[in-house]
Structure 1
């Protein structure tokens, strides 16, 4: 090789090595200057969390929640739904925050399309997911607010708490921890979380006017508002043509509640909600 070329090549290599070394030293100094000291409490919290990585807390995994609950004074200790009260108390002890028990909640399906005899407007042929089917004219069900029944909620549940029976999701009360994964996966938003001790629930999600509902579903809500007038606790309301129950108000009214909403509903949509002793298949609307 030509001595001049060799000298130039070696010089170039030496220059690149020097540049790399300078960059390395600069990065090391920057890392040292801006380093954030790890809080050992984060690891302690991680050890007591359920480790389900379900995302029910609203953070990216258990580590995300551990960092937030340790470093942010406004993040409560009761967001690990799988861990419930025991984990909430342990996290509170580690972080020095006020002890709060995790709310005992469960997923419920706000749809009665089977019992209501809701038909199909077309035969769906495509990717077998609710999200995919909902893109085709709002889904195959005649009621555009009905459960599609292809099992996106089943696939999303990290605890195996949901099964499909006759293309309808059934919640296993013994397995559901109320993490909300199914609720977020449902494109029709027919799944909601309600307290385990709730008195009543309404398995209907339609926003359609009464005339339309009567034509499509035998038991769909027609928003007659008789339930609103009958509730002595003022816990029932109609918002955007959808019946909603304030379960805190309902429960706070006390044991003298006569469940007038159940009796007054002309379509018998209001149902009592009891989970004690329930097994798989019991928590369904039809």
Structure 2
């Protein structure tokens, strides 16, 4: 019993000695931290999503103080957090454009699968199978929810075999962008005047697309030709939008033969063109007004017959005998 007490006492004494040494070392070798780091960390949402490009919120706060990160890089915090960090750092936060993750696929429409997949419910695993997975389209969403599993904000879910983003919840952290094995998800500006999107990633030629997908872009370029701002280009048989030029007019959506292009998430209804009105018949010319009959010239008054010369004067008359 005495040995047990002795051992416990020794351990207690050793613990106290080592604790004192560690406390002393912590004070001697302490690294002074800029108080702004802690202030910035308190402003951040604490999601540790990595959307800023740094390892967690603490890493981002340290980078801001060190001057290696902008004050408005927190995707989850948005403009409000950027303004707070800018105030702490004494700089203007600047204008930020809200972004969201956009899934560039709406599904193949009909059943275009090559075979029935019964393996691991994971997009990466399915994409490594022969032929790139069970889906007929090599560029379509496999719909197995890998993006859904990695999203820290519960902002993306698989619906009817296709990943769909909840725009209100999405914080543009890029987790789903990095997780998608087919690179179908990309960050896009949340709004132009209206948000126009081309939800397709197929780089196959038009005839190939029509065989494996009912909705995909066939690269017909009708949208590009119709765009009044030249905001759409065709690259690798796929239409792409330049959001710096797009004004959200939706003319491209009206021209798309596959009804693929959306405006604010909806394919606009195509209204039939109004028939052209027939040109109005020319009004008959008014008949010229009847000319008033010209006044006949007044008849010239007949000259009065000249008076016959008066009878010879008496002097001329023959004298009476």
Q: TM-score range by the shorter chain?
A: 0.7 to 0.9
Q: What is the deviation of 1:120? A: 0.8
1:262, 1:271 within 8 Å by CA — same for their partners in 2? yes
> How many Å separate the matches in 2 of 1:216 and 1:105?
31
Quick one: which of 215, 220, 223 aligns to 1:219?
Answer: 215
Query: 2:61 matched to 1:51?
Result: no
5+ residue gaps, structure 2, are 1-20, 267-321
Aligned residues: 238
- Is residue 151 of structure 1 aligned with residue 142 of structure 2? no
Cα offsets for 1:108-140 (capped at 9, x unmatched): 2111224x3251112223221101111113121
Aligned to 2:226, which of 221, 230, 235? 230
- TM normalised by structure 1 equals 0.76
TM-superposed CA distance for 1:191, in Å, is 1.4
Match of 2:60 in 1: 65
Structure number with bigger Rg: 2
**Structure with higher RCO (Cα < 8 A, 6+ apart):** 1
Q: Does the 8 Å CA contact 1:78/1:103 hold for their aligned counterparts?
A: no
Task: Say yes or no: does 1:97 pair with 2:88.
Answer: no
Distance in 2, matches of 1:152 and 1:101, equals 33
| d(CA) in 1 for partners of 2:159, 2:255 | 30
CA contact (8 A) 1:157 1:181 kept: yes
Equivalent residue for 2:201, pick from 188, 205, 218? 205
Match of 1:125 among 105, 113, 118: 118
- Contact 1:81/1:103 (CA < 8 Å) preserved in 2? no
2:202 and 2:217 in contact (8 A); partners too? yes
What is the alpha-carbon distance in structure 1 between the residues aligned to residue 143 and residue 63 of structure 2?
A: 36
TM-score w.r.t. length of structure 2? 0.69
Give the distance between the partners of 1:241 and 1:94, measured in 2 at CA.
48
Query: Do 2:106 and 2:162's aligned partners in 1 also have CA atoms closer than 8 Å?
Result: no
Task: Note the 1:17-56 alignment, pairs <5 A.
Answer: 37-56=32-51
- Structure 2 CA distance, aligned partners of 1:129 and 1:170? 16
Are the counterparts in 1 of residues 71 and 86 from structure 2 also a CA contact under 8 Å? yes
Matched residue, 2:244: 248
Contact 1:86 1:101 in 2 (8 A): no
**Mapped contact 1:57–1:81 kept (Cα < 8 A):** yes
C-alpha distance in 1, partners of 2:186/2:151? 14
- Partner residue of 1:189? 183
Which residue is equivalent to 1:175?
Answer: 169
- Tell me, yes or no, if the aligned pair for 1:80 and 1:87 is still in contact at 8 Å: yes
2 CA distance for matches of 1:118 and 1:72? 53
Which residue in the other structure is 1:264 paired with? 255
Is residue 231–residue 260 contact of structure 1 (8 Å, CA) maintained in 2?
yes
